[in-house]
Structure 1
Amino acid sequence: MQRREFLGMLAAAAAAGLPVHNLRAAARPESGEFYHVPAKGNVHFLHMTDTHAQLRPVYFREPAVNIGLGAARNRPPHLVGQHFLNEFGVEPGSIDAHAMTCLDFAEAANRYGRVGGFSHLATLVRQMRSERPDAMLLDGGDLWQGSATALWTKGQDMVDASLELGVEAMTGHWEFTLGDERVLELVENDLDGKIDFLAQNVRDSGFGDPIFKAYTMREMNGVPVAVLGQAFPYTPIANPSYMMPNWNFGIRESDLQDNINAARKEGAQVVILLSHNGMDVDLKLASNVTGLDAILGGHTHDAVPRPQVVKNDGGETIVANGGSNGKFLGVLDFDVADGKIRDWQYRLLPVFADMLPADPDMDALITKIREPYADKLAEELAVTEDVLYRRGNFNGTFDQLIVDALMEMKDADVALSPGFRWGTSLLPGDAITMERLMDQTAITYPTTTRNDMTGERLKLVLEDVADNLFNVDPYFQQGGDMVRVGGLTYAIAPTAEMGKRIRDMRIDGEPVQADRTYRVAGWASVNDIPEGEPIWDVVGDWLRDKKTITEREPNRPRIIGLEGNKGIV
């Protein structure tokens, strides 16, 4: 169905008073066929990651810019739009094309509906488990952060929901921003052995003792298996270190190898790494360590339907990455006999809420969790006339909204906003509720600031983030995407040397002067605990005043030297 035909059907349906969801149903494949994944073998893993505390279905737009450099250039996960469809043989305009690319996002979102939601995810998990006895459900981290209710309950809502869902092991990243005491309280008291919190690479900074279990062992249909955990290695750099002052992180390759060897010595015939490294790091790690059968990864939010198979000195390792926001469920099956893997299969299943009935028990739990906050979540701040989204290497439209609000409310020349990957999307005509604003801002260090900064300092900030994002060695990529910028335009040469990537910086069309001081608004400082209003109050007041948000052009830099890069639409 072409765009014009579909929009014509929507208009005709509206004129006739017919419900639009009937047209959505007509445009979708049959759910039984779409979610029919016959099991293979006798060892099974279900994988979700980077849910960012989204309990209800949402819209989520995939990136238009996901640049890969060096060995990562023009290979998964750094493929977007039509380049992605070509690589994976996905039909343009299909439901899979909508799930995994940004192409025709608003039209396709209207056609196929919202994604994710724990009650719909629960139905899919139950269906997959019905054919896979003993299938193990793994969560790759960023589970306890990203929504208003997760912030206000200090992660309790997501712990309760994940227990109901049947998660059996997890690792972490944003979880640690609840603070070390709260994390340990939840792990020791609430998870209580029902969910193993695994992180072989988190150690006590004094004696080097492990804080969490490195791996868990279990028998699955007669086959001993091990799951190891790898938390985000750079948590104290990307997030405030004062929230976990006595813990050290890192990739810890040699420790990981030791733990793989220990699990094999205990008899594990299948060994999985549940990782929050990011896919580029996982690909490098898979080439350096031996004995891993698969890495089920997260952090970079990449939805990759076909795993990459990496050769190493011990054989091969499957590397998969499972998207974000509860939008996907990865299904990995192994056929194991005589202690060896004979075959495997993998499917990355989009979770379309309209195609999966809500699990009644999970739905009731979510309703109970949200009930005390329902009125606050539902407050309508403004209405958007544009698609609002965040995901991508540079500013999205929701990022642009935030920096515009900061500049106006703080009377600043420039605004800087963190390059977070989490945050849901809105369609034209949608209300920007307090819940949707909190989807972009719900962190434990939300204070807004306004500081004086020289032009030289501004350039150093941008250069530092650019090196973090575009370093050709994945082990030096230590955080999110490029800082979002308002009021300042610039060019960027991602392949240039460190300190020489940022060029042609301008404010109001005039070149930025190194020794001139500018007023710079921001939020989410990782270095201190400033005094000030939280970001949701500042942006919320701005939205209430505006009432209608017109189309916004994201302030993206001019990119130099990346002709032919398939990470750019």
Structure 2
Amino acid sequence: MNRREFMQVLAVAAAGGMALSHREDAAAQAASSFYDLPRFGNVHLLHFTDCHAQLLPMHFREPSVNLGIGAQANKPPHLVGDAFLRAYGLKPGTPDAHAFTYLDFAAASRTYGKVGGFAHLATLVKRMKASRPGALLLDGGDTWQGSGTAMWTKGQDMVDATLALGVDVMTAHWEFTYGAERVKSVVEEQLKGKIEFIAQNVQTNDFGDPVFAPYTMRSMNGVPVAIIGQAFPYTPIANPRYFVPDWTFGIQEERLQTLIDQVRGKGAQVVVLLSHNGMDVDIKLASRVRGLDAILGGHTHDGVPAPVVVENGGGKTLVTNAGSNGKFLGVLDFDVKGGKPVDFRYKLLPVFANLLPADAPMQSLIERVRAPFAAKLAEPLAVTEGVLYRRGNFNGTFDQLILDAVMAVKGAEIGFSPGFRWGTSLLPGQAITMENLLDQTAITYPYTTVTPMTGETIKTVLEDVADNLFNPDPYYQQGGDMVRVGGMDYAIDPNAPMGRRISDMRLGGKPIEAGKTYKVAGWAPVAEGAQGEPVWDVVAGYLRGRKTIVASVPRLPKVVGVKGNAGMV
């Protein structure tokens, strides 16, 4: 064991409450050394993304299935478990191994404690800013949605928290599900002069006018820096169109190139895209546009310790992704000389709540915004006997629980649940509270539905979602994971052509018949006018009636054609 590994273990041992007697001071110093990141260069960018309104420390299990297809196979971010550790030179049984992989999740969670939490993130941000004059804090979006308090306050708790955190620039995705009017009012009335909300790819339907500022220019230590914003390009498809009826989105590659050239013409020596495209899309985009020094990305929740360096006609672009749930802070330092970056350093720092003291002002704010809802959030619904999680290309155990509940309550043979990537994890023996349930379901279109579907329609739905996830062209991928399926079994070949990935669909062991009609329960419909009981009410009633939940192995499809793929155990 080298010195750094020893210090990491010592730090976590002390933070976990183990008796260290006279070595307590050494443990405190070790905790500090875990976040000892020397300043480098003269341009400093701090980045977090996809926190999904998680103000408190929590557990979050990284995926055991993250398949890369075609040219993306066996490359970042599509590596899991031991393959991930080998690719980045991380050792098993270390804090980094726990932060970046699902390995030994329950045991490692008990050893290293919870991750994230805005009070702990604030401490780390302040530390990084103190050592990096002029550093900018960039928020990649999916910040205002993902918790009960965010839903009930229309994101106001997160607006307050990001202002207190010192965010300088942000872009967006799930923010738009509060509606265009709410987003515009927050941007124009609360963020103005404090946080710049940028999105070069959002325009009005009628005349193509920009809805938000496309970029911002800053001078940092004498270096002109441009940050261009890229909101989630498929917002009106992945989420209800009626929330933003007058706006267009898209990747807008040509417009982006024009903006890059424009800011370069204004003297920018560092140009960065703050993106919510998803990492595969960002890697392709970086190969097709010139003049970007880096893409600080989000949306796909990939915690990637080192940038992917992409070559293009103008040189090289660093592509990063900073995970989710507030459990990481990316630190990118450029050394700019002679009008251009000549070197860089990048570190994706896990936010271990045990190793970072809570920032007192942020902790006070969190307690204040949560106080009106505390009793409702704390209601215990049941206890889980196994790990409950959501994250991976196919069903997680929390997805399975939601499906079981919706099918049982609605009397359906088959269940569909969205392939959302957000949602915290629970360890065996933990109570499932209303807050935990809302962490999985808190959206502005939570309606449960029961729909008669023919076997042919069911296959069409599965094929459509599979193409969104596994299309070999990243520009046709819309993020998220495969729709979660309950009640029925099927096989999937992610490498097959569109329309031919799904096969062997069965219900109760019998083949699904194309012309037969089945009763299918679901939730989160994107169609305007949809109605139904909120999914959290359905699942809460189910849990209250059972008290104890056995987190069984989730119902997974038979995945074929992926032998040797490092994105699946």
Q: Which residue of 1 aligns with 2:5?
A: none
Task: Note the C-alpha offset of 1:528.
Answer: 2.7
Q: Which of 17, 24, 38 lines up with 1:21 in the alignment?
A: 17
Q: Which residue of 2 aligns with 1:424?
A: 424
User: In the TM superposition, what are the counterparts of 1:508-523 in structure 2 within 5 Å?
Assistant: 508-523=508-523
AA partner of residue 482 (structure 2): M
SS of the residue aligned with 2:236?
A: helix
Please give the per-residue CA displacement for 1:251-295, whole angstroms capped at 9, x wherever unaligned.
Answer: 000000011111111111000100000000000000000010000
Match of 2:445 in 1: 445
Could you report, residue by residue, the CA deviation over 1:120-150 in whole angstroms, capped at 9, with x for unpaired residues? 0000000111110110000001000000011
The match for 1:8 is none
Aligned-residue sequence identity (percent) comes to: 65
After TM superposition, give the deviation of residue 23 of structure 1 in Å.
Answer: 6.9
Map residues 108-507 of structure 1 onto 2, 5 A cutoff.
108-507=108-507
CA contact (8 A) 2:15 2:355 kept: no
Task: Give the drift of 1:497.
Answer: 1.1
**Aligned mates of 1:385, 1:90 — CA distance in 2:** 31
Q: Tell whether the 8 Å contact from 1:145 to 1:174 is kept in structure 2 after alignment.
A: yes
**Inter-partner Cα distance in structure 2 for 1:20 and 1:41:** 35
Whole-angstrom distance in 2 between the partners of 1:83 and 1:20: 28
Q: CA deviation at 1:551?
A: 2.7
* Cα distance in 2 between the residues matched to 1:136 and 1:238: 30
How much has 1:30 moved relative to structure 2?
A: 2.0
Would you say 1:79 and 2:79 are equivalent positions?
yes
1:20, distance to aligned residue in structure 2 (A): 6.1
- Supply the distance in 2 between the matched residues of 1:181 and 1:20 (Cα, whole angstroms): 45
* Helix, strand or coil at the partner of 1:444: coil
Corresponding residue SS for 2:18: helix
1:34 aligns with 34
Return the offset for 1:21.
Answer: 3.3
Paired letter, 2:447: T
Query: Is this contact kept in 2: 1:23–1:111, CA < 8 A?
Result: no
Task: Show the 5 A alignment for 1:84-123.
Answer: 84-123=84-123
The letter of the residue matching 2:478 is Q
Seen in structure 2, the aligned counterparts of structure 1 residues 107 and 152 have a Cα distance that, compared at 3 Å, is: same
Cα displacement string for residues 73-110 of structure 1 (whole angstroms, at most 9, x for unaligned residues): 00000000000001000001111000000000000000
* Shift of residue 530, structure 1, vs aligned partner: 1.9
After superposition, the C-alpha distances for 1:358-391 in whole angstroms (9 at most, x for unaligned) are: 0000000000000000000100000001100000
For 1:362 and 1:74, how far apart are their aligned partners in 2? 40
> 1:16-50: per-residue Cα shift (whole Å, max 9, x none)?
xx996337999999221110000101100000000
Distance 1:497 1:373, change over 3 A: same
Distance verdict in 2 for CA 1:543–1:21, change over 3 Å: farther
> 1:557 maps to what in 2?
557
- Kindly provide the CA deviation profile for residues 181-238 of structure 1, in whole angstroms up to 9, marking residues without a partner as x: 0000111011122101110000101100010111000100111100000000000000
Deviation at 1:454, TM superposition (A): 0.6
Partner AA of 2:210 in structure 1: P
Whether the 8 Å contact between 2:171 and 2:229 is mirrored in structure 1 is: yes
- The answer to whether the 8 A contact 1:28-1:95 is kept is no
- Letter of the aligned partner of 1:30 in structure 2? A
The alignment status of 1:537 with 2:522, answered yes or no, reads: no
Q: In 2, are the aligned partners of 1:27 and 1:112 still within 8 Å (CA)?
A: no
SS at match of 2:17: helix
Q: Distance in 2 between matches of 1:72 and 1:479?
A: 14
C-alpha separation between the residues in 2 aligned to 1:23 and 1:412? 53
Question: Following the alignment from structure 1 to structure 2, what is the Cα–Cα distance between the partners of residues 530 and 252?
Answer: 31
Provide the rounded CA distance (Å) in 2 between the counterparts of 1:330 and 1:336: 19
C-alpha separation in 2, matches of 1:19 and 1:176 = 39
Asked if the contact 1:27/1:111 (under 8 Å) is kept, the reply is no
Give the counterpart letter for 1:250 in structure 2.
Answer: G
TM-score normalised by L of structure 2: 0.96
Residues 378/343 of structure 1: CA separation in 2 closer, same or farther (3 Å cut)? same
User: Structure 1 stretch 382-391 or stretch 522-531: which is displaced more?
Assistant: 522-531
Residue 565 of structure 1: how far off its partner (Å)? 0.2
Structure 2 Cα separation of the partners of residues 19 and 270 of structure 1:
39
Runs of 5+ unmatched residues, structure 2: 2-12
Q: 1:28 to 1:439 in 2, by over 3 A?
A: farther
Q: Is the 8 A contact 1:463 1:498 kept in 2?
A: yes
CA-CA distance at 1:479 after TM superposition: 3.2
2: CA distance between counterparts of 1:291 and 1:259?
10
- Residue type of the alignment partner of 2:435: E
